[in-house]
Chains A and B, each alone.
Chain A
Amino acid sequence: MSKMHLLDAGIRKKWGSSSPHFCWFKSSFSEKTTWYNYCNNHVIKNCQFPPVKVPGEQKAMIFVGGVISLDFPREQLKAFYRTMYTIRSFEERCNELFLAGKIPGFVHLYIGEEAIATGVCATLRKDDFITSTHRGHGHTIAKGADLKKMAAEIFGKSTGYCRGKGGSMHIADFSIGMLGANGVVGGGYNLAVGAALAAKMRKTGQVAVCFFGDGASNRGTFHEAMNMAAAFKLPAIFVCENNQYASTTPYRTTTSVENIADRAVGYGVPGIVVDGNDVFAVYEAAKAAVERARAGGGPSLIEAKTYRIKGHFVGDPELYRSREEVRERFETDDPLKNFRKQVLAANQLTKGELEEIEEQVQEELNAAIAFAEESPFPEPEELFQDLYVEGWGEACGK
């Protein structure tokens, strides 16, 4: 079977009858990287990203990387796995600790979506910005956050990133450009637009990535942010994590289009659909969008198709879907399994190497959770701390 046929079959498997009208992909089988357009079964070689407008076709581009992009340095492959495995394990620990009553508040887990944060953040500089969501642990880890401070924050301890003021839904690390998780769905878009505006004004070459979900794509802020970023040609990348559920509602029951990336057409920016459970595909799509943004080409919209393995929050009774559906998806399309299968089959990494990473991560997590558990809660006098810079919050609150 030719590469194109493989590609086509892969796309159909993933998205059923809604096969792409248009896609672009990168082939690195030969020494030279070649970009292709794939449009209604026609292949255009050596295209540019974003591809030129295709006559009569207004749908978003579908990007597929996957098996054809395994020419990464081993260190990069190890880093992908380390990040994905850290997120997975961190979330599994959060799940256990929450159910054990050790974590207050709400926790929204990123299990099943690890390849997106990992692939996207691997294309970013340390000083690039990201804005995150209520389901933000994965983004925070992928951007390079300290697991100890993260865990402590989730426990509400004073050693946490936000001194216990934020919790799971509001972790930020400004030293690595992580401008914060956001408890308001769709609240992060415009913060990313502003960060991108600042980068453009100061000519720093930084970009801003906004992670959001399929549910958030229906907020009005999506429109305002996309339009402003496009109108001002800002270095922003909008990454939709389409995990199929807007909280507890299947997204297709409340969303006007199958592919959220189709909406990019309305803003005159590239819209890219990518397999969100394939870290290579996500990486390639993000890399192209980031390069475009840095070069002054303006924003892109990437829709990463994925599936939320856990409920909306820990404790969600999940009345809106069957256990079989979840099991089937997890068994057949787990981003970590996908990765392992690919790198092992291509002899890029050995089983031993993967296990070594897993052991290291588990140790690091043990240390992080022990640190969080042993850390003190904030003191009562910290209640008004950091409300105002001038520090008269207490006087106002009396």
Chain B
Amino acid sequence: MREITFAEATMEAMAEEMERDERVFIMGEDIARQGGIFGQFKGLPQKFGFERVIDTPISETAIVGACVGAALAGMRPVADMHFVDFITVAMDEVVNQMAKIRYMFGGQCTVPVVLRAPDGAARSAAAQHSQCLESWFVHVPGLKVVIPSNPADAKGLLKSAIRSDDPVLYFEHKDLFRMKGPVPEGEFLVPIGKAKVVREGTDVTIVSYSATLHKALKAAEALAHEGIQAEVIDLRSIVPLDKETLFASVKKTGYLVIAHESTKNGGVGSEVAAVVAEEIIEYLDGPIKRVGAKFVPIPFSPALEPLMLPQVEDIIAAVKESL
């Protein structure tokens, strides 16, 4: 299969969906003339025009709010949030408007909006350009949350997100944009709400997603040298959570470690741990372990940044503590 980058995969998904459905358009800061700060929109306006690939003012509430309004008027908007950190500016639009409108109005409408949010720490971008905030949205009924870890899923999940009649938050890690991998050409959909077992194992389940998944795989590799066979699950969707895949693995291995780049406290790992403890605790043979960023803003200095982020060694240590 041909190999393309994560960024190219997202662009391919955008282009295919815009081709397929003229109601689909994208708006955001620096996306049309600049092609996106990670080059993830390059060439798109040339194909579809500046009317469907829209450079917006630096106005996050207007971007998200207008996407919601356009959706209510029959469009299928996609917004690029530039950096996930800036989604905080538009929290009313995300939480009070986008997430609630369908339910609040008794199902009279659908809100098919996708918010694309580049996240994650990369090259000392410091405290306000490096966060992973996906766990905030797990707490909001009405939203779907997806978070691919590789180019193929990036394409398949984005296409599914755009076709979803529910609002979807699509998190894309900045460090993954240049990652190359095999991506099916043409129609390729990854269903929302389905996790994937990316490495089979029998001794411990490591649940992860996004860029941290690759650290989890490295940890599993290292553990294998010590005779520990870790099963690694890529959640891919956080809401809804694929409990079936998760529970099947935990029932098999009896041990659970969750690893992600967002803050450990109140993170997705907390939710996964709680769900497993609540529903299938009898299958656990050891304590659940969570690996996440430390409870501190992301520091600028290259000497400090790696200290607050979860590393391969942290995942290995967590597995060993659990077993």
Contact = CB atoms under 8 A, between A and B. Distances in A.
Interface of A: 129, 131, 160-166, 170, 172-174, 179-180, 182-184, 187, 189-199, 201-202, 206, 208, 220-221, 224-225, 227-228, 231, 385-390, 392-393, 395-397
B228 to A, nearest CB: 33
Name the residue among A183, A194, A390 with the largest chain B CB count within 10 angstroms: A194
A202 B239 contact: no
Interface string B94-114: 001100011111111110000
Nearest to B102: A386
Nearest to A378: B106
A206 B142 CA distance: 29
Smallest CB-CB A-B distances: 9 pairs: A190-B65, A194-B69, A386-B107, A162-B106, A198-B73, A194-B66, A191-B69, A163-B106, A224-B62
Given A174-B109, A198-B73, A201-B75, A220 B65 contact: no
Name the residue among B65, B69, B96 with the largest chain A CB count within 10 angstroms: B69
B96 A165 contact: no
B144 to A, nearest CB: 8
Given A190-B69, A194-B71, A224-B59, A390 B105 contact: no
Contact of A165 (B73, B75, B106): B106
Contacts, number: 157
Contacts of A390: 164-166
Nearest to A129: B73
Contacts of A191: 65-66, 68-69, 72, 97
B142 A184 contact: no
B48 to A, nearest CB: 12
Contact of A190 (B66, B75, B104): B66
Contacts of B172: none
Nearest to A206: B73
Interface in B77-97: 77, 92-93, 96-97
A228 B51 CA distance: 14
B62 A193 contact: yes
B109 A172 contact: yes
A221 B104 contact: no
Nearest to B241: A396
A196 B103 CA distance: 23
Nearest to A389: B165
B70 interface: yes
Contacts of A395: 240
Nearest to A172: B105
A175 B17 CA distance: 27
Interface of B: 25, 51-52, 56-57, 59-62, 64-75, 77, 92-93, 96-97, 101-110, 141-142, 144, 164-166, 193, 239-241
B240 A392 contact: yes
Contacts of A195: 69-70, 72-73
A201 B59 CA distance: 20
B91 to A, nearest CB: 11
Name the residue among B61, B103, B106, B239 with the largest chain A CB count within 10 angstroms: B106
Contacts of A160: 106
Contacts of A396: 141, 239-241
A194 B96 contact: no
Name the residue among A160, A180, A199 with the largest chain B CB count within 10 angstroms: A180
B141 A389 contact: no
A201 B51 contact: yes
B85 to A, nearest CB: 17
Contacts of A389: 102, 110, 164-166
A196 B75 CA distance: 11
Contact of B108 (A129, A172, A189, A199): A172
B103 A227 contact: no
B248 to A, nearest CB: 16
Contacts of A182: 97
Given A184-B92, A191-B72, A194-B77, A165 B64 contact: no
A189 B65 contact: yes
Contacts of B239: 396
B65 A174 contact: no
A192 B25 contact: no
28 contacts: A129-B73, A131-B69, A160-B106, A165-B105, A166-B104, A166-B106, A170-B104, A174-B108, A174-B109, A180-B101, A190-B68, A191-B68, A194-B71, A195-B73, A196-B69, A198-B70, A202-B74, A208-B73, A221-B61, A224-B59, A386-B107, A387-B102, A387-B142, A388-B166, A389-B102, A389-B164, A392-B193, A396-B240
Given A193-B69, A197-B70, A396-B240, 4 more contacts: A162-B104, A174-B72, A225-B65, A396-B141
A328 B70 CA distance: 43
Name the residue among B73, B141, B142 with the largest chain A CB count within 10 angstroms: B73
B96 A161 contact: no
A208 B69 contact: yes
Contacts of A392: 193, 240
A106 to B, nearest CB: 15
Contacts of B77: 194
Contacts of B101: 180
A227 B58 CA distance: 10
Contacts of A192: 69
Contact of A184 (B74, B97, B106): B97
Nearest to B71: A194
Contacts of B74: 198, 202
A397 B141 contact: yes
Nearest to A180: B105
